[in-house]
Amino acid sequence: MNMPAESSPFAFPKLDGSNYTSWKEDMKVVLMDRGCWSFIVEDNPCPEQATEKEKFEYDWRKQRCYTTIYQGIERKFLPLIRYTTDGKEAWNILKTNFEPTSKARLAVLIDEFFELKFNPVEETIGIFCKRVDEKKTQVKEAGFEIPELLIALQLIRRLPAEYDHLVQTLYRLKDEEFNHLEVEKQLVNEAGRIQLKQKDLNLDYTEDAYTVGSFRLQETRKKSSERSGAVLDPSRNPGQYRKVHYPKGMGPSCEFCSRKGHDASKCYKKRNKEKKQAFVSETTFCGTNQAFGVSTDCNHFLIDTAATSHFCYERDWFKDFRELKTTKALLADKKSTCEVEGIGNIDFIIQDIKGNVKITLKDVFFTPNMRRNLISGARMDIAGLKIIWSNNVMRICHSNNEYFFSAFRRDMFYIVSGYPLLDSVMYTSVDLNLIHKRLCHVNIPLIKDMCKNKSVKGLEKVNIKIDNESCIACNVGKATRTSLKKNYVYKRVTKSVLDKVHMDLWGPAPVNSLGGSKYFLSIIDDFSRKIDVFTLKSKSEVFSIFKEYLSRVQRELGRKLKSVRTDNGLEFCHKDFETFLRNLGIKIERTSFYTPELNGIAERFNRSSMEAVRTMLQDSGLQPRFWAEALHAYVHTKNRCSHKLTEGKTPMEIWSGHKPSIRHCRAFGSLAYVYVPTVNRNKLQPKAKIGILVGYAVNRRGYRVWLPKERKVVESIHVKIDETKNGVKTLFGKVKHYDYAIYQLDQNLNNDSDYRAQDEKSSSPEKPSSLDISTWIRLEKPRTKSKRIDVYYYPPSKERLRSINDVKIYCQKNKLEFDPNQFNFKPTKANTRFEEKSECHNETSSDSVDEASFVNDIFQNEIYMTEIPKTFKETQISPDKEKWNEAMSEEIKLMQNRKVWDLVEPKSNMKVLGCRWVYNIKHDEKNNVKKYKSRLVAQGFKQRPGVDFTDVFAPLVNFDIIKFLFVLLVCILGWNHYQIDVKGAYLYGNLDIPIYMQQPEGFVLKGCEHYVYRLQKSIYGLHQSGRQWNLELSEILFGLGFHQNDLCNGLYTKSNCILLVYVDDIVVFSKSQSDLENLILNIKIKLEITELGPVRYLLGVNFERIGDSVYLHQNTYINKLKTRFKNLPRRRITLPLKVGCILPDRVKENEIIETELMRQIPYKTLIGCLSFIANRSRPDIAFAVNTMSQFCNGYTYHHWTIVVDILNYVFNTMYYKINLSDTRNTRLTMYSDSSWG
C-alpha cells in the first residue's frame, strides 16, 4: 500500500512558553499543509462505509496531527500532553496553559496598540501603518473593536517633529474625513516629500532632548572636488561635480576674499567663518545637565510651535504656584523625559520694538532641568492669536489682526526678550541672607565681591546693594578681640599649584564626631588656597593620610609637590615622615619653636574653620558631635568662594581651570526629604525619609543627610531640601543651643603645641601609639562609711590607676598618647549607699543626672550589645566564622537526612519563596554558651492564604499550667520530671501543597544555580509548619497510648504519665522511673531528640532543686539583661516604686518637646522585658511594671528614670526565688476581678 509522501520538516521556533501566539499561527499552517487541521477544528469520525485504505489513511493523519504538535514544543513542556494521543486534546491543553484569559489578553493587546511608535531609522511610514493595522486586527479578534477615531489618532500622535505641519492639518479635517485610510494616504505622501527634500537639501533632523520641535542644519563632509572649486555638471547624474580649472589669476572674482579663481559660494574662508559662527550660535543654548544646575540664558522665551505647553525653569518667576509630584514632560525624541515639579502663571514684560508689552502665561510647567523657557505656539493658537512670519520676524497679532508683539530670529530660534514682573520682595535682603547661610556663613563683603567679579555661577540674582551683616549666629560664633597689631599683608611668592602646601593638625576635640574622630588634618595649597581636610581618630594616621593625598593630587594635576610647611608637632617630625619627603625631593619647612605665626595660613584656617563650625552649629541647633560634618560642609563652600589674593577667582577655578557653581549649595541644618528606593520599602511605606542636611557627598553627587530615627548619615542625590524650615526645630520642637562642649573648641587650637619636638635632629623620637580608650574600664566605687566615691581606670593590663598622674605615667611607660581630656576622675552620681537609711528612693537620686548629658550618653554609646550575626555575610567576617559554618552545615545535613526537599528545575509560572539564615547562641542555666545554632527559614510572608496554606493553628501549653503541674506532681506527689528537645521539629511535618524555595545562601550547588527546592517537609518560616508538626506529633503520641486533653491541647495524658508540649520542648511527668525510661525510649524510636535531664531551664525560667525543695527564678534571663543594658546607670534600689511616688501625667505626643529625642530610648523594650519577668517569676514588680506600661505612648525622661530604677531593683534582688515546695494544700482557690461579668 502506498503511503502519503512525508512533508518537509518545519523550520520555526518550538513552543517555549513565551511565543505561543506566533507558534500557533505557524503550527496551523503546518497542520493544514499535512492535511491534519480538520482534526483540530472538527471532530468528524471516520465514515463506517470507508474502505480499509481510507480508514488507514484517516488513522495515519490523525496520529500525524498529534506527532506534529509533539515535535513542535520544547522538551520541558512534553509532560503536558504525554498522557494523550489525540491531536485536538493536545491542542486544547496547550491553549489552556499558554493562551491568556480573554480579558487579560485584551488588556495586553490594547496596551501594545497604544504603545506603537514610528521609528524612521528602522522602518518606512507604510510599514508603521501596517503594524498598526495588524495590531488592530488582533484586538478585534480578542473581542473588542477599536473605534475609527482612535486608530487615526494612534497613527499621528507619536510622529517625529517633521510631520508636525501635516498633523496640524489633519486635526482640522471634518469628522467624516478623519479616518485611518485617509490618514495613511496623507502620511505616505508626506513621507515621500520629506525624503525628496532631505535628498535635495541634505537636512538631518535631530532629536535633541532640549530642542523641542526644532531641527538643526548639519554640516556634512564635502568631497575634495567640491572644496577645490568644482561646479555642478547638468550633463551628469544629479549631485555629481565636474572639475573646472582656471589659469592663475583668471576666472570669476570672489566677493568675500577678493581673490580670483572661484566665486563666493566656493570660498573656503567664508565657509570657515560661517562654520565658526554656526558653532558659536549652536552652543549658545547648549550646556551640561548636571545634578547641581545648568548653563542657560536668562530673561528669554523661545516660541516653539511644536510644544504642547509653556515651560519655564525659573522658580522665582511663578505666581499661584502649586507643586506636582509625578508629572513628566515627554521631549521631542519620544524617549527622554523632563521632570515637571509644579505649575503656575507668569507675568512677563516683553521689550518690544513698540515699547514694553505685558503678557500673562497661564498653566506654565516648572521644569528646572530644561535649558530653555518655551512659549507654546499651540497654546497661542488656542488663545486666538495669529502668527505671521516675514523677514526673520515672527509677528503675533490678535484675532482682529491688531498687532500684539514680535519675536526675532536668532540662530534658527524665534526669541522673545524681556524680564519677569516680580513682587518687590523677590530681591530683598532675604536672598542675600540665604546665600550667606548656603555658603556656611562666609563674610558678606566677600559675597559682594564674588557677585561683582562673577567668580561663580549662581550669584546672578543677588542684590548686593542691600547691606545685611546682622547675622546673630555669626556675631555669637565669630566674636574676636580687637587687634592691636599693625596691618600685615601676606605676599604670595608661589607661581603655580603644588609649589607649596601648608599643613596643621587640630585637636583633640572635646566631643568625638559621629564617626569617632577627634582630630582633623588641614592641607592648604599656597597658590590656589584650595583646602583639603581629613578627620582622624588618632595622630598616628597623619602620615598615611598625607601619602594618599600626595598620590591623588599629583595624578590629578600632573605636577609634583615642591615643598611642605608644618609646625614641630610629633605627627610631622618623626623619622618616617622626613625620610619619605626627602626621598621624593620635597622641601621641608618648619616653624620656629613656640612660634605658630610662621605657619599662619594653616593656623588661621583652624581659627576661621572653628568659627564657622560654631556658627553653623549655633544656627542649626545640632549637637556638638556634628562638628566634623559642619567642617566638611564649610570647606566645600570655602573652596568655591574667592580669596583676596586670587584676584577674584575661586580656589576651585585656579585648581581645576573651570569656574565652579554654587547652585547646589543649601543652608546647613535645613529640613531634608530623602527618597527611598522601591527595593527598600513596601507599597504602604512612605517614599521619603525626613532628615537634616549636614553637608555634601564627597565621592559622588548628592547631599549628606542625618536621619535622626535611624541615627545615621546617608548620601543621596534624590533629596528635596526645604531651606525655610530648620531641621532640628521641625523634628524636635525647638532648637537647643549646646554651650557646654563646643565652645571649648577654640581652646584646643594649639593644644598640640604642648607636645613639640625639642630639637630638629634628623633622628626624631619614636612616635607614640594611639590610645584606644574604649578598651579601658572606668569604675566608680562608693565608700560605705563616707559620702566619697572613688573613681578608678583599668587598662587592658588590669592595672588599677587612681589619678590622672597615674594615667600619665602609665602612658609614658607604655609609649601611648596621653590626652587628659579623655579621662574623667570626677564621680557622675552621688553616694546613695551611705545616705539611704530607709527603704524608699532618694528623692534626688533619679534626677541627679543631667537629662541632656544622659540622653547624649545613650546616643553616644550603643545600649544593646550582641554577638549574634544577622546575615550570612556577617558570619563570614565574624571571629566565630568556623563555628557558624559548622552549625549551618549541620542544619543542611539534617534536612538532607530528613529528605526535606527535592532539587528541581523551575518553571515559568512557578512561585518561588526566598529563604534566609537565622542565628542564635544557646546558653545553659548558668548562662554558659552551650551551642551555636543556625536555622534555615523560608520567607513565608510571600505565601497566599487559601492557595499555599489553609489552617495554621498549633496549640501550646500555657506556662501557668507548667507551674501548676510542678507544684502538684513534683512538689506534692513526688513524681519524676524530665525535659527533652526535638531536633528539627518542624522538619517532621508533611506538606500537602507543593511549595518551592530558593537554594540557601552559601550552599548553592555548582552547575545548578538556577534550580530550586520543592519542599516535601514543613520547615521554619512557613505559615502551616507549626500545625503540620503538631499533627505529626499527635499521631505519634496517639500511637503510644496518650490522649489529648480537650481543654488544653498541649497536654497529653496516659495512665501514670503526663506530657506537656511547647513547640519542640517537651516536659514529661511520670510516677515511676521505669515508666519514664520506657516512654523516652519509645519517643526516641519515632523522633530524633536531645535528652536534657530533669528540668532546669525552660522557656526563660530556672527550676532549681535545693534539698527537697524546688525553687523558681530567672537569674539566667536577668544576667542577659545586665549585658544587654550594661550602659544604663546602676543604683541601689530597695523598692520597685518609692513610697509616695508621684507619677507625672502622660504627655500627649504633640506636646512633648523632646519627642524625637525620647523615641530613641528603648522604653517599650525595657517594659516588655520587665513584664516577662513579672509574669513568670516576680509578682513583686507586677504592679510597678503594669503602672509604667500605661505611659508607653506618652513617656518622658522622668518616666524613663523610674523604669530604670525598677530594672535596678530587679538586678539588686535577682537572687529572689519562689519556693514551689511550700505549697501543701491541693485545694484550688479562684479569684476574679469586679467586672460587669
pLDDT attached to residue 1236: 53
Residues 6+ apart with CB under 8 A from 669: 616, 619, 620, 621, 622, 692, 693, 694, 726, 727, 728
* Long-range contacts (CB closer than 8 Å, 24 or more residues apart) made by 700-705: 701/290, 701/291, 701/292, 702/291, 703/666, 703/672, 704/629, 705/672, 705/674
Give the pLDDT band (50/70/90) at residue 970: confident
Q: For the chain, which residues make up each domain, given as ranges? A: 19-98, 103-197, 300-420, 481-659, 669-733, 777-814, 872-1099, 1109-1219
Cell readout for 1202 is 523610674
pLDDT attached to residue 833: 44
Distance CA 1000, CA 162 (A): 56
Kindly tell me if the per-residue pLDDT of 523 is higher than 90. yes
Distance CA 243, CA 230 (A): 5
pLDDT attached to residue 491: 61
b/e for 359-393, b at 16 or more Cβ within 10 A? bebeebbbbbbbbbbbbbbbbbeeeeeeeeeeeee
The 8-class DSSP code of residue 769 comes to B
Phi-psi group of 695: left, alpha or beta (phi > 0 → left; psi -120 to 50 → alpha; rest → beta): left
b/e for 1117-1133, b at 16 or more Cβ within 10 A? bbeebeebbeebbebbb
Strands (E), 800-948: 901-904, 912-913, 915-923, 929-938
- Angstrom CA distances, 951 to 478, 481, 774, 992, 1018, stand at 70, 79, 52, 12, 14
- Neighbour count for residue 1191 (Cβ, 10 Å): 21
In the block, which residue shows the cell 503602672?
Answer: 1187
Mean pLDDT computed over 400-417: 85
Cα dihedral sign, 419-422-428-431: negative
Distance CA 720, CA 525 (A): 34
Kindly tell me if the per-residue pLDDT of 179 is higher than 80. yes
Percent of the chain with pLDDT over 90: 8
Phi-psi group of 134: left, alpha or beta (phi > 0 → left; psi -120 to 50 → alpha; rest → beta): alpha
Fold agreement between 300-420 and 481-659 = no
- Over residues 938-949, the pLDDT tens digits come to 888 877 777 777
Flag whether the pTM goes above 0.75: no
Distance CA 793, CA 800 (A): 6
Mean pLDDT computed over 399-424: 81
Tell which wins on pLDDT, 959 or 736: 959
Backbone angles phi, psi at 352, to 5 degrees: -90, 170
Backbone angles phi, psi at 119, to 5 degrees: -115, 100
Kindly tell me if the per-residue pLDDT of 527 is higher than 60. yes
Cell readout for 387 is 502668527
pLDDT attached to residue 1014: 87
* Average pLDDT of every residue of the chain: 76
- Over residues 1194-1205, the pLDDT tens digits come to 777 788 888 888
* Max CA distance (Å), the chain: 137
Cα dihedral 1126, 1132, 1134, 1137 in deg (nearest 10): -60
Mean pLDDT computed over 1080-1102: 85
Tell which wins on pLDDT, 1 or 24: 24
Kindly tell me if the per-residue pLDDT of 293 is higher than 50. no
Distance CA 421, CA 412 (A): 27
- Domain 481-659 superfamily per CATH: Ribonuclease H-like superfamily/Ribonuclease H (3.30.420.10)
Which of 185-199, 243-257, 710-724 shows the highest mean pLDDT?
710-724
Q: Which residues pair with 409 in a beta bridge?
A: 414
Percent of the chain with pLDDT over 70: 78
Residues 6+ apart with CB under 8 A from 1079: 1040, 1057, 1059, 1068, 1070
Mean pLDDT computed over 1143-1161: 57
Question: Which alpha helices (H) appear in 261-410, and where do they start and end?
Answer: 268-283, 377-382
- Neighbour count for residue 99 (Cβ, 10 Å): 12
Give the pLDDT band (50/70/90) at residue 1127: confident
- Over residues 1093-1125, the pLDDT tens digits come to 888 888 888 888 887 788 888 888 888 888 888
Contact 652, 660 (CB under 8 A): yes
pLDDT attached to residue 764: 39
pLDDT attached to residue 532: 94
Tell which wins on pLDDT, 277 or 282: 277
Contact 37, 26 (CB under 8 A): no
- Over residues 1163-1204, the pLDDT tens digits come to 888 889 998 888 888 888 888 898 888 888 777 778 888 888
The 8-class DSSP code of residue 967 comes to I
Mean pLDDT computed over 318-340: 73
- Angstrom CA distances, 848 to 364, 852, 854, 1144, 1198, stand at 61, 12, 10, 17, 11
Distance CA 134, CA 136 (A): 5
Distance CA 719, CA 696 (A): 11
- Over residues 200-219, the pLDDT tens digits come to 444 333 333 333 333 332 33
b/e for 288-314, b at 16 or more Cβ within 10 A? eeeebbbebeeebbbbbbbbbbbbbbb
- Over residues 577-591, the pLDDT tens digits come to 889 999 999 998 888
Q: Is 318 exposed, middle or buried (0-12, 13-18, 19+ CB in 10 A)?
A: buried
Contact 621, 737 (CB under 8 A): yes
Distance CA 68, CA 36 (A): 9
pLDDT attached to residue 234: 39
Cα dihedral sign, 1074-1076-1079-1081: negative
Kindly tell me if the per-residue pLDDT of 269 is higher than 70. no
Give the pLDDT band (50/70/90) at residue 146: confident
Distance CA 477, CA 503 (A): 24
Residues 6+ apart with CB under 8 A from 452: 464
Kindly tell me if the per-residue pLDDT of 708 is higher than 80. yes
Encoded amino acid at 86, one letter: D
Kindly tell me if the per-residue pLDDT of 673 is higher than 90. yes
Distance CA 1076, CA 526 (A): 88
- Neighbour count for residue 913 (Cβ, 10 Å): 20
Pick the CATH number of 300-420 from 2.40.70, 3.40.50, 3.90.1200, 1.10.357: 2.40.70
- Angstrom CA distances, 1162 to 264, 514, 760, 858, 1204, stand at 85, 21, 55, 10, 11
Mean pLDDT computed over 122-130: 85
Phi-psi group of 190: left, alpha or beta (phi > 0 → left; psi -120 to 50 → alpha; rest → beta): alpha
Tell which wins on pLDDT, 173 or 841: 173
| Distance, C-alpha 1160 to centroid of its chain | 21
- Angstrom CA distances, 255 to 226, 230, 252, 259, 276, stand at 19, 18, 9, 8, 20
